Structure 1
Amino acid sequence: MSIEAIAESSAVSMTDDQIKEFLTEEGVGILAFPDEELPYLVPMSFGFDGSSTLYFIFLLFGSESRKETLATHAEKGRFLVYRAESLHDWQSVSISGRVDSVDDDEWDALRNAMQNAWHPDIFSSASPMRGVEGYHFQIDEWTGIQHGSPTA
């Protein structure tokens, strides 16, 4: 189904303020990087600074992380956040931008933004963990659509 067909079905575009509110409320989405033939997709907890930046914490296991490698080498990435309460009540925001590691002086901003992030319990018992890296996703563009109850 095309975006035009979705729009004709009573789904509507979200305003920038609705997108910001939605990103502030949600705490998990799907991060995608280009990778050879197929994109690499991974669910990620995230924080939003309320303006133009998403933050992630990568928990690194083993000697090599595909996610870390792709984040370092990809020029752009995509991030998808969605919520589906029912067939008639859902929101979806697609974001494109650049992912880079955070500098030492950005960790306070990362911690503040990550207040709403969802964190699966499985990682607390995983081992051996190599480390923790912080990343920011500078938003270049976003689009949002919704059907049913507006978020703002």
Structure 2
Amino acid sequence: MTVDELDDYGMLRMDDEDIERTLERKSVGVLGVSTDAEPLLRPLSYWYDGESDLYFVYVLGSDSRKATVSDEADVAGFLVYDIETTFNWRSVLLTGTIERVSDDERAAIEARIDTDWKPDLFERAAESEITALYRFRITDKSGIKQLELPPELRTDSSTSGPD
């Protein structure tokens, strides 16, 4: 079934404004990158610049598969979701490119970043480990949401959605 066919069950496409609000409000998602074997999927904290880019901090360690796969990727996906209840949720799927930010550019970007999104782990790791900043450039975005009970579960006293 397509999203349009699921409209009868309470699922709706998100408009651009709703997608933007979700990206701004959340700070964790799942990065998906193709490999020769299985896809690499990693939960990541992110910072959204409010326009077209997400930023991730990678703790590199001695052999970071995530960094290697990201450096080789032509395209990547990123999923951001927000689930309040079974029938009240949002899901945003982004497609784009991912690239390591150069050291020259990194300081300027980090000065703009709101560090509230960054877990304390990154602050501690930066003191003893090598980190890299990655940029995910959004080329396509879509979102779906469900904000009410499906019609078959509604009663006369049910509300049609959140206030």
Q: TM-score range by the shorter chain?
A: 0.7 to 0.9
1:60 and 1:129, CA in 2 relative to 1: closer, same or farther beyond 3 A? farther
What do residues 102-151 of structure 1 show as CA deviations (whole Å, max 9, x unaligned)? Answer: 122243334534534252x566677x95401001000000101111179x
1:87 and 1:112, CA in 2 relative to 1: closer, same or farther beyond 3 A? same
How far has the Cα of 1:2 moved from its partner? 4.7
1:95 and 1:110, CA in 2 relative to 1: closer, same or farther beyond 3 A? farther
Partner residue of 1:3? 3
Alpha-carbon separation, structure 1, partners of 2:114 and 2:56: 8
Alpha-carbon separation, structure 2, partners of 1:52 and 1:107: 19
How far has the Cα of 1:38 moved from its partner? 1.6
How far has the Cα of 1:56 moved from its partner? 0.5
- In proportion to residue count, which structure has more strand? 1
Larger RCO: 1 or 2 (CA < 8 Å, sep 6+): 1
| Aligned: 1:38 with 2:44 | no
1:139 and 1:123, CA in 2 relative to 1: closer, same or farther beyond 3 A? closer
Partner residue of 1:96? 95
Partner residue of 2:158? none
TM-score, normalised via structure 1 length: 0.84
Partner residue of 2:155? none
Structure-to-structure mapping, 1:3-152, within 5 angstroms: 3-61=3-61, 63-103=62-102, 104-119=104-119, 130-148=129-147
- Structure 1: which 5+ runs fail to align? none
Per the alignment, in what secondary structure is the counterpart of residue 3 of structure 1?
coil
Q: Contact between 1:26 and 1:116, CA under 8 Å: does it hold in 2?
A: no
What do residues 25-49 of structure 1 show as CA deviations (whole Å, max 9, x unaligned)? Answer: 1000000110123211000000101
1:15 and 1:113, CA in 2 relative to 1: closer, same or farther beyond 3 A? farther
- Structure 2: which 5+ runs fail to align? 149-160
1:136 and 1:114, CA in 2 relative to 1: closer, same or farther beyond 3 A? farther
How far has the Cα of 1:7 moved from its partner? 3.2
Alpha-carbon separation, structure 2, partners of 1:129 and 1:146: 41
1:135 and 1:125, CA in 2 relative to 1: closer, same or farther beyond 3 A? closer
Alpha-carbon separation, structure 2, partners of 1:78 and 1:3: 19
Per the alignment, in what secondary structure is the counterpart of residue 36 of structure 1?
coil
Q: Contact between 2:3 and 2:12, CA under 8 Å: does it hold in 1?
A: no
TM-score, normalised via structure 2 length: 0.79
How far has the Cα of 1:8 moved from its partner? 3.1
Q: Hey, which bits of structure 1, 4+ residues long, moved more than 4 A?
A: 121-126
Alpha-carbon separation, structure 1, partners of 2:112 and 2:145: 28
